[in-house]
Amino acid sequence: MAMYESEHTRFMREWLEKHPQELEEQKQGRALWWDKSPGDADAQRRLAEARVPQKPYYYDAN
């Protein structure tokens, strides 16, 4: 029994075979927007110290 493959999946697979450089560009874009590194420990500490605790009920004026 053959597995179903949509037209879009087939198109993307064939397109990436013809344009292998796009895989590297995809990795760079993913790293830029999604892969968050721990970053600078000093910056993380300063952010934690600057954080203001949130009230249990946000709309309470008291």
* pLDDT, tens digit (0-9, with 9 covering 90-100), for 12-48: 999 999 999 999 998 888 887 776 666 677 878 888 8
Q: Print burial letters for 26-54: b (CB count within 10 Å at least 16), e (below 16).
A: eeeeeeeeeeeeeeeeeeeeeeeeeeeee
Confidence of residue 1 (pLDDT cuts 50, 70, 90): low
42 vs 1, more confident:
42
pLDDT band at 61 (very low <50, low <70, confident <90, very high): confident
